[in-house]
């Protein structure tokens, strides 16, 4: 998520869902069962410190009566230190951060009707981007990377049926909370593993830190099968000719550049080794410039397909929720090459939890992400006399050290081959340390 202003609007990976990430993933989180519906936005920060432990609550500084009355107030602080070594480009280090705060209201407990949830979440990303300053990768190397600004991230109302088989949500929404999302891939910190390049680079202003006015409808006919569909403003955060964001605080609403929609089907299987398979498509009704020198909007509409899987591969105990376990993920996406910078993407990875004696919640995660630029983009670069972009490969290894349920440390190592798909750019080695606190 190379988001340090001024920046190009083409470099926007995740999210994911975006701060702390965890490999402590349980198959029961997938889909939209009742315990999932009322949760806060699934930014990476929230993932790593999932659970009921908060620093202020642990210290007795947040009244328990608030929770009993249906008022859930939370805050997160994530800090990253990273250093890159990149051949003749030299080395560089930086510190970035993400402060978050929000409140959720449970309708029945605050005196409103059953099934209603109200949610507000705000962000303040800060710091300087390694990806913008030197590396130039698709990622970026830190999934909390964004230009400095106080932002309204989500503001929505949701109504769920009494049986939990239907929901509708409307307001300022983040598409990456419910679509194109691998829970296990979110455990890694490179932006490609969150909101991936085949959506982030092909669709205007989607994924963290961007949200858009929209409506989401979810149907879950059985416990293990669900369908989600949503439509959003097509470009909620456009840029001016100088590359500056027109809507830096996410409070303006505009629908003049098409609509962005997603449709996804999910299937979960339980048992000793649970897992989930999700597949879907995205579309955009706006006009997109062809991959040639004209720069004219010669294509009406855009779209792509994706498929992903999260799977428990081995578990000491039934269901894989507790005890030592090994889990794996895979995800791939496709988009037409004649109107998209990225036409093909694939990733895979593993996580191992509870293998260190006395450290049952610690986890080791590793992943590989491959991004290919489309042939049309390559032809355009050649015609302009520029270096022809090709493929980028990211390899990441991370350890999640759970110091306290509300405090995590994550040392991280990344290798980026051909950053931005440029063969002439030196490979980058990046080391980092992430800390996160849930207040």
> What are the pLDDT digits (tens) for 149-177?
899 899 999 999 988 799 999 999 999 98
Lowest-confidence region among 89-93, 347-351, 367-371, 374-378: 374-378
**How is 126-139 classified by DSSP, letter by letter?**
EE--HIIIII--SS
Whether residue 206 has pLDDT greater than 70: yes
Residue 234, pLDDT score = 82
pLDDT level of residue 185 (50, 70, 90 thresholds): very high
Residue 162, pLDDT score = 84
Average pLDDT for residues 97-123, to the nearest whole number? 92
> What are the pLDDT digits (tens) for 287-329?
787 775 555 667 888 999 999 999 999 998 876 677 899 999 9
Residue that is written with structure tokens 């990225």 in the block: 342
Please name which of 331, 41, 316, 276 lies closest in space to residue 158, comparing C-alpha atoms: 41
Residue that is written with structure tokens 């891939």 in the block: 185
Residue 25, pLDDT score = 30
Residue 46, pLDDT score = 39
CA angle 42-190-391, nearest 5°?
Answer: 130
Whether residue 99 has pLDDT greater than 60: yes
Q: Which residues pair with 359 in a beta bridge?
A: 356
Residue 74, pLDDT score = 87
CATH class of the region 27-438: mainly beta
Q: Which residues pair with 421 in a beta bridge?
A: none
Residue 423, pLDDT score = 86
> Domain segments of the chain: what residues?
27-438
Residue 327, pLDDT score = 96
DSSP code of residue 180 = S
Residue 18, pLDDT score = 31
Whether residue 136 has pLDDT greater than 60: yes
Please name which of 99, 143, 104 lies closest in space to residue 120, comparing C-alpha atoms: 104
Residue 24, pLDDT score = 28
Query: Distance between CA 315 and CA 318 in Å, rounded?
Result: 7
Ramachandran class of 400: left when φ > 0, alpha when ψ lies in -120 to 50, beta otherwise = beta
Average pLDDT for residues 412-418, to the nearest whole number? 97
Residue 431, pLDDT score = 98
What length is written for the chain? 439
Average pLDDT for residues 332-343, to the nearest whole number? 91
Residue 299, pLDDT score = 80
Token pair for 165: 């088989």
Query: Distance between CA 106 and CA 177 in Å, rounded?
Result: 19
Residue 32, pLDDT score = 32
Q: Which residues pair with 186 in a beta bridge?
A: none
pLDDT level of residue 245 (50, 70, 90 thresholds): low
Tell which wins on pLDDT, 350 or 31.
350
SS3 category, 439: coil
pLDDT level of residue 238 (50, 70, 90 thresholds): low
Give percent of the chain above pLDDT 70.
Answer: 76
CA dihedral 218, 221, 224, 230 (to 10 degrees): -20
Query: Distance between CA 262 and CA 405 in Å, rounded?
Result: 34
Average pLDDT for residues 348-372, to the nearest whole number? 94
- The strand ranges marked E within 175-274 are 212-222, 225-233, 259-269
Residue 381, pLDDT score = 67
CA angle 338-288-389, nearest 5°?
Answer: 45
Give percent of the chain above pLDDT 90.
Answer: 51
> What are the pLDDT digits (tens) for 19-74?
322 322 333 333 333 333 223 333 333 343 444 466 666 666 667 777 778 888 88
Token pair for 301: 């509409």
Whether residue 127 has pLDDT greater than 90: yes
Whether residue 397 has pLDDT greater than 90: yes
Please name which of 349, 348, 345, 341 lies closest in space to residue 332, comparing C-alpha atoms: 345
């Amino acid at each position: 998520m190379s988001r340090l202003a001024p920046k190009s609007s083409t470099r926007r990976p995740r999210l994911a869902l975006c701060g702390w990430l965890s490999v402590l993933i349980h198959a029961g989180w997938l889909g939209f069962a009742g315990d999932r519906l009322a949760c806060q936005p699934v930014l990476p920060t929230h993932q790593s410190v999932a659970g009921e432990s908060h620093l202020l609550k642990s210290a007795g500084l947040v009244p328990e009566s608030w929770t009993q009355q249906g008022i859930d107030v939370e805050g997160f602080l994530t800090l990253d230190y990273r250093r890159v070594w990149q051949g003749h480009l030299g080395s560089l280090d930086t510190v970035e951060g993400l402060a978050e705060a929000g409140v959720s209201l449970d309708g029945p407990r605050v005196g409103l009707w059953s099934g209603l949830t109200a949610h507000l979440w705000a962000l303040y990303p800060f710091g300087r981007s390694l990806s913008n300053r030197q590396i130039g990768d698709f990622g970026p190397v830190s999934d909390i990377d964004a230009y400095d600004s106080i932002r309204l991230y989500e503001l929505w109302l949701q109504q769920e049926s009494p049986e939990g088989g239907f929901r509708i949500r409307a307001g300022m929404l983040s598409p990456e909370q419910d679509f194109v999302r691998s829970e296990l891939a979110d455990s890694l910190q490179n932006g490609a593993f969150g909101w991936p390049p085949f959506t982030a680079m092909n669709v205007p202003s989607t994924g963290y830190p961007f949200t858009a006015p929209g409506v989401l409808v979810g149907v879950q006919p059985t416990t293990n099968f669900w369908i989600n569909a949503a439509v959003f403003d097509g470009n909620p955060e456009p840029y001016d000719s100088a590359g500056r964001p027109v809507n830096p605080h996410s409070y303006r609403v505009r629908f003049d550049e098409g609509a962005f929609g997603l449709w996804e089907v999910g299937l979960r299987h339980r048992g000793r080794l649970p897992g989930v398979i999700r597949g879907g498509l995205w579309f955009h009704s706006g006009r997109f410039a062809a991959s040639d020198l004209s720069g004219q909007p010669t294509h009406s509409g855009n779209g792509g397909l994706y498929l992903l899987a999260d799977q428990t591969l081995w578990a000491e105990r039934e269901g894989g929720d507790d005890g030592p376990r090994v889990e794996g993920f895979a995800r791939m996406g496709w988009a037409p090459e004649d109107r998209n910078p990225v036409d093909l993407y694939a990733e895979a990875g593993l996580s191992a939890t509870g293998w260190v004696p006395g450290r049952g919640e610690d986890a080791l995660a590793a992943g590989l992400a491959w991004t290919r630029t489309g042939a049309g983009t390559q032809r355009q670069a050649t015609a302009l006399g520029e270096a022809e972009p090709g493929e980028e490969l990211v390899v990441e290894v991370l350890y999640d050290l759970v110091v306290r349920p509300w405090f995590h440390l994550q040392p991280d190592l990344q290798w980026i081959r051909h950053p931005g798909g440029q063969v002439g750019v030196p490979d980058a080695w990046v080391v980092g340390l992430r800390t996160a606190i849930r207040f």
